[in-house]
Amino acid sequence: MYPMNAKSIWLSVVLLLFVIPGIAAGVQRVVSLAPSITENIYLIGAQSKLVGCTSYCTQAVNDGVDQVGSTIDVNIEKLFSLKPDLVLALQLTKQQDIAAMEKLGIRVATMKSPRNFAEICEQTKYIAGLLGSFEQALEVLSPLEKRATEIQQLTKSLKPQKIFFQIGASPIFTVLENTFMNDFITFCNGSNIAAGLTKGTMTRESVVMRNPDVIIIATMGGFGETEKEEWMNYKSVSAVQNCKVFLIDSETSCSPTPQNFVSALEDVYRFLSE
């Protein structure tokens, strides 16, 4: 979680008890500028307030919610026409776009991308508080947090394994420490072969040298299968020798919501238990 001192804790209490309820009372029309935010809105049952989303918010798009571009490129004119009470954004959205919205009198809540499971849950609670669904969020989160803890306990009995978690190709891109996806590895008593790296790009040779016991590849819109086939050619790698090369759904593993995280964690636990 983010570092907390006495002052920040006090401000958080004030926010939850006084500020957020006041905001939530007037929020009926919400625009989401990130797929994970949209999924969280559905998770807490507040989708009836969603009037705008990005073109990558699959469920909302399928439900006919108006699209306002992407997280990076926002159609301000379209967004303004939806007359939102609140826009929810990540820091990935351009600052000039956020400034333009605020200049038009639109209230924007901007959040950091969560770095671990605890921050994912805190972000869900924050969104729920803004939308008047805090109690619903607690009900949804409780079993998910419990299951994540259970998996951590169960994997303590597993032999520690070196894991390579690939999330991109051409160039090869891996999960780094201090990201929420690294929690998939550490929660399952594994070690990340990319530990210590500050950039996510790796060569195949550097992966082979680290000799992972398990290779997990995000599906990446179809590239996952190609990457799996390519890795199976490296017969000297323990993961290949022991048939421990797996595909994991990008929709769950790469989108930081509590439900997605636990779903992907279940997959990683299954991979390591086989």
DSSP string, the chain: -----HHHHHHHHHIIIIIHHHHHHT---EEE-SHHHHHHHHHTT-GGGEEEE-TT-HHHHHTTPEE-B-SSSB-HHHHHHT--SEEEEETTS-HHHHHHHHHTT--EEEEPPP-SHHHHHHHHHHHHHHTT-HHHHHHHHHHHHHHHHHHHHHHTTSPPEEEEEEEETTTEEEPPTTSTTHHHHHTTTEEETTTT-SS-EE-HHHHHHH--SEEEEE-GGGHHHHHHHHHTT-TTSHHHHTT-EEEE-HHHHSS--HHHHHHHHHHHHHHHH-
pLDDT digits (tens, 9 = 90+) for 215-265: 999 998 788 999 999 999 999 999 999 999 999 999 999 999 999 999 999
56 and 179 share a domain?
no
- Identify which of 260, 263, 237 has the alpha carbon closest to the alpha carbon of residue 163: 237
pLDDT band, residue 24 (cuts 50/70/90): low
Same domain, 136 and 218: no
Does residue 149 lie within any of the structural domains?
no
- In this structure, is residue 83 part of a structural domain? yes
C-alpha 159/C-alpha 33 separation (Å) is 41
Phi, psi (deg, nearest 5) at residue 13: -60, -45
Classify residue 63: in a domain, yes or no. Answer: yes
190-208 pLDDT tens trace: 999 999 999 999 999 999 9
| 11 and 111 fall within a common domain | yes
User: Do 133 and 224 reside in the same domain of the chain?
Assistant: no
The closest alpha carbon to 141, from 46, 57, 261, belongs to 261
The answer to whether residues 125 and 174 belong to one domain is no
148 inside domain:
no
The last residue of one of the domains, among 112, 141, 170, is: 141
Number of other CB atoms surrounding residue 76 within 10 Å: 16
Q: Please check whether residues 44 and 124 belong to one and the same domain.
A: yes
Name the domain boundary from 114, 141, 168. 141
- The mean of the pLDDT values for the chain is 91
Cross-strand pairs, 217: 166, 247
Asked which of 141, 176, 199 is the last residue of a domain, the reply is 141
Q: How many residues does the chain have?
A: 274
Report yes or no: 105 and 128 within 8 Å, Cβ to Cβ.
Answer: no
HSE at residue 63, side-chain half, CA atoms within 13 A, is 17
Average pLDDT estimate for 56-61: 96
Q: Do residue 96 and residue 120 come from a single domain?
A: yes
For residues 126 and 181, state if they share a domain: no
- 20 and 110 assigned to the same domain: yes
89 located within any domain = yes
Domain span including residue 80: 6-141
Residue 168 falls within a domain, yes or no? yes
Q: Say if residue 135 is in the same domain as residue 161.
A: no
pLDDT at 15 over 80: no
pLDDT at 16 over 70: no
Q: Is residue 86 part of a domain?
A: yes
The CATH number of residue 92's host domain is: 3.40.50.1980
pLDDT, position 25: 54
In this structure, are 36 and 97 located in the same domain? yes
- Whether 147 is in a domain gets the answer no
Q: What is the pLDDT of residue 223?
A: 87
Choose among 197, 258, 224, 179: nearest CA to 215.
224
**Same-domain pairing of 51 and 100:** yes
Task: Say what the pTM is.
Answer: 0.88
The total domain count for the chain is 2
